[in-house]
Amino acid sequence: MKYDLIIIGGGLSGLAAGIRSAHFGNRVCILEQQGRVGGLNSYYHYQGRIFDIGLHAITNYVPRHIKSTPLAKTLRQLRLSYDDFQLLPQQISRITFPTKELRFTNDFNFFIQEISEKFPHQIDQFTKFVQSLKGYDEFSAKKEFVSTRQILQSFFFDPLLIEMLLCPLMFYGCSWENDIDFAQFSVLFRSIFCEGFARPQDGMSKIIQLLKTKYQHCGGELKTNCKVQKLHIHQNKVSEVHLSNGQTMKAEKIISCIGLPETKDLCTSWGGKTTNRTTTPRTGALSFMESIIILNTMPSQLTFDTTILFYNDSERFFYQRPKTLIDTSSGVICCPNNYQTEKPLPEGMIRLTNLANFTLWNGLDEEEYHIQKKFCLRESLKKVERFIPGLQDRILIHDIFTPKTIEKFTGRRQGAVYGTPDKTKDGLTPIKNLFICGTDQGYLGIVGAMLSGISMANAHILY
Amino acid sequence: MTKEEVKTSLLNIISEIVPDEDVMNLEGNTSIRDQIDLDSMDFLDIIMEIRKKYQVEIPEEDYPELATMNSSVTYLEPLLVDK
């Protein structure tokens, strides 16, 4: 049997692409290598609890009835209702540098006020900058990399403000070292500062279930524990999909959500003689160590009311692969308890994120790997102590994942969660019937992932 | 389908796509997009839902015919007469 569409990878982008395509009558099959869908934003069971793999926050949060936003578009296109996601807005987040702190909420005017108080000499420029972003259409942006640092330097003379603006946005979606393509920056600026953070009441598991059920209701097929081994290319088209269990499948078109370099590796050939970035995508350099910590107390008892805190220990923010296992000179502290809710989580929870070096983690033998995980968590906690005093003595259980864990479970080469810096914004590859969606197409975050699946299905399957 | 059935079916399709909009009070001769929030993605979804439900292809050059409720019904009626 031949499918209209095979989707490789059942993450959020793949599920969204699947829902759209199946809803309009295409025969679709999603192939997911893990036992459960959700990809980078799935969840797992650990010591009687359900942990989200990647979720700190859903960005692009807007209240109900705010229209023409990525969230509203996503819900409409997937025929979901606002209440389906049960979104709890954040309380307050902070960007903390040695000499200054900027706070932000889901009300952009609060952030403007913060800038005017902390950077009064730059507020006029900030207003101009925000105005210029409004006229900027990131979706019809040039394919070439445009340096955000250069643009920011043309607006702001205070380098500290530039670093502080970049810090949270890079942590939450940047696949370049120390700079970011301006189209991506503007997507992130909007999704984080202008819109905001929220958390689904029960974490990602409900959303994943919802999308999976929706997809299957539309008639879509799903194969879990199903790994693609090879995409056989004939006359510049995918002719057969070879699975690791020895089976072969066929489809008119293929959408791959597993990353551009990862997809290229599956293909028996990768046409096109030109050597532009899409034909030779680099592996992303950036990965993280993430620690999930359950406390025997509530964060509020430790006087911590921040939803997400981004810290950096110097005036300059270095967003790059560290030369050590992890880099604790900057980091992210996320507290899932600190979202506005009437149904508080039963236990206190903190998530810590630091930049990490895949190669170094990968080079450790098993014993050393476990020792280093514990050591790095201690190092990471030392930096957190000044923000959450007493945290170290309140740890009930913890789970740590390294770039190696991320690579193993997501298939992202070198644990590069934000993918290659060489995005294919139109989703096209050198192979005629093979398209990319998800992180390497260029949209970011949970809403962004779904929107990527939607727009690629629209562009290449439906319209 | 009668004229009235075409109208009801179209309203159902629109309200499925934009459930948060009040489509039942749409003014017949005013542009639909001036009355409710409906972007180009939503508009294309209307076309695709019609195709899915009734196997009717609407060519792109005819899209302007679907600007108002009344013009849409006038345009769709002969296409849906046997449906």
Q: Which domains does chain B have, with CATH numbers?
A: 3-79 (1.10.1200.10)
The Cα–Cα gap between A373 and A91 comes to 31
The nearest CA of chain B is from the CA of A24 a distance in Å of: 6
Each residue's pLDDT tens digit, A313-358: 999 999 999 999 999 999 999 999 999 999 999 999 999 999 999 9
Asked whether the beta carbons of A41 and A276 are under 8 A apart, the reply is no
Q: Are residues A168 and A295 in the same domain?
A: no
A429 φψ region: left (φ > 0), alpha (ψ -120 to 50), beta (else): beta
The CB density around residue A196, as the number of other CB atoms within 10 Å, is 24
CB contact under 8 A, B17 and A463: no
Parallel, antiparallel or unpaired: strands A87-89 and A198-200: antiparallel
Tens-place pLDDT, residues A115-163? 999 999 999 999 999 999 987 776 665 678 899 999 999 999 999 999 9
Closest Cα to residue A187, out of A245, A241, A139, A247?
A139
Residues A325 and A394 in one domain: yes
- Is the CB of residue A12 less than 8 Å from the CB of residue A452? no
pLDDT bracket for residue A273 (50, 70, 90):
low
A416 is a domain residue: no
Of A24, A73, A463, the CB nearest to B52: A24
A67 contacts chain B (CB < 8 A): yes
**Span of A25-29, A286-290, B40-44 with lowest mean pLDDT:** B40-44
Mean pLDDT of chain A: 95
The mean per-residue pLDDT over the stretch A184-203 comes to 96
Task: Please check whether residue A95 lies inside any domain of the structure.
Answer: no
User: Are both A213 and A70 inside the same structural domain?
Assistant: yes
- pLDDT higher than 60, residue A270: yes
Q: Which domain holds residue A58?
A: 2-85+203-282+422-460
User: What amino acid is encoded at A68 in this protein?
Assistant: S
Kindly state the helix (H) or strand (E) to which residue B22 belongs, with its residue range.
none
A280-293 pLDDT, tens per residue? Answer: 899 999 999 999 99
* Chain A residue numbers touching B12 (CB-CB < 8 A): none
Question: B60 and chain A: CB distance < 8 Å anywhere?
Answer: no
Nearest CA in chain A to B39: A68
Question: What pLDDT, on the 0 to 100 scale, is given for residue B20?
Answer: 86
Indicate the number of domains in chain A.
3
Nearest to B48 among A24, A67, A82 (CB): A24
**How many helices and strands, by DSSP H and E, does chain A display?**
13, 18
Share in percent of chain B as helix, strand, coil (round to 5)? 65, 0, 35
DSSP H or E stretch at residue B79? helix B69-80
Measured between alpha carbons, how far is B80 from A196 in angstroms, rounded to an integer?
A: 45
Q: Is residue A278 predicted with pLDDT exceeding 80?
A: no
Would residue A440 count as lying in a domain? yes
Is there a contact between B20 and A82 if contact means CB atoms under 8 Å apart?
Answer: yes
Search chain A and give the residue with CA nearest B48: A24
Q: Which of A174, A195, A216 is the last residue of a domain?
A: A195
Is A65's Cβ below 8 Å from some Cβ in B? Answer: yes
A212 and A81 in one domain?
A: yes
Cβ–Cβ below 8 Å for A73 and B48: no
**Looking at residue A361, what is its pLDDT?**
98
Band of residue A432 on the pLDDT scale cut at 50, 70, 90: very high
Residue at a domain's end among A156, A177, A195: A195
Between CA A130 and CA A144 the distance in angstroms is 22
Given the DSSP bridges, would you call strands A287-295 and A348-356 parallel, antiparallel or unpaired? antiparallel
In a shared domain, residues A157 and A55: no
- Averaged pLDDT for residues A3-9: 98
Under the banding of pLDDT at 50, 70 and 90, the label for residue A275 is low
In chain B, which residues have their Cβ closer than 8 Å to the Cβ of A67? 37
- Print burial letters for A424-439: b (CB count within 10 Å at least 16), e (below 16): bbbbbbbbebbbbbbb
Residue A379 domain-assigned (yes or no): yes
pTM metric for this prediction: 0.96
Do the Cβ atoms of A81 and B19 come within 8 Å?
A: yes
Strands A248-256 and A2-8: parallel
The pLDDT value given to residue A272: 63
**Global ipTM:** 0.94
Is A94 within the bounds of a domain? Answer: no
C-alpha angle with apex A260: A169 to A33, nearest 5 degrees? 100
- Cα separation of A375 and A325, whole Å? 10
Assess whether A73 and A211 both reside in one domain: yes
Q: What is the CATH number of the domain that holds A71?
A: 3.50.50.60
Task: Give the DSSP H or E segment for A289.
Answer: strand A287-295
A143: amino acid identity, one letter: K
Q: What is the distance between the alpha carbons of residues A317 and A312, in angstroms, rounded to a whole number?
A: 7
Strand, coil or helix: A398: strand
Closest C-alpha to A426, from A392, A458, A398, A462: A458
Three-class secondary structure of residue A443 per DSSP: coil
Token look-up 């900030």 returns A126
Residue pLDDT, tens place only, A70-104 = 999 999 999 999 999 999 999 999 999 999 999 99
Q: Is residue A61 part of a domain?
A: yes
Give the rounded percent of residues in chain A with a pLDDT score beyond 90: 93
Q: Say whether both A162 and A258 belong to one domain.
A: no
Q: Which amino acid is at A95?
A: I
Q: What is the total residue count of chain B? A: 83
Instruction: Say if the Cβ atoms of A24 and B17 lie within 8 Å.
Output: no
| Structure token digits, residue A196 | 């905001």
Task: Please report the number of interchain residue pairs, chain A to chain B, with beta-carbon separation below 8 angstroms.
Answer: 24
How far apart, in whole angstroms, are the C-alpha atoms of residue A414 and residue B50?
Answer: 46
Q: Does the distance separating the beta carbons of B17 and A76 come in below 8 Å? A: yes
pLDDT recorded at residue A153: 98
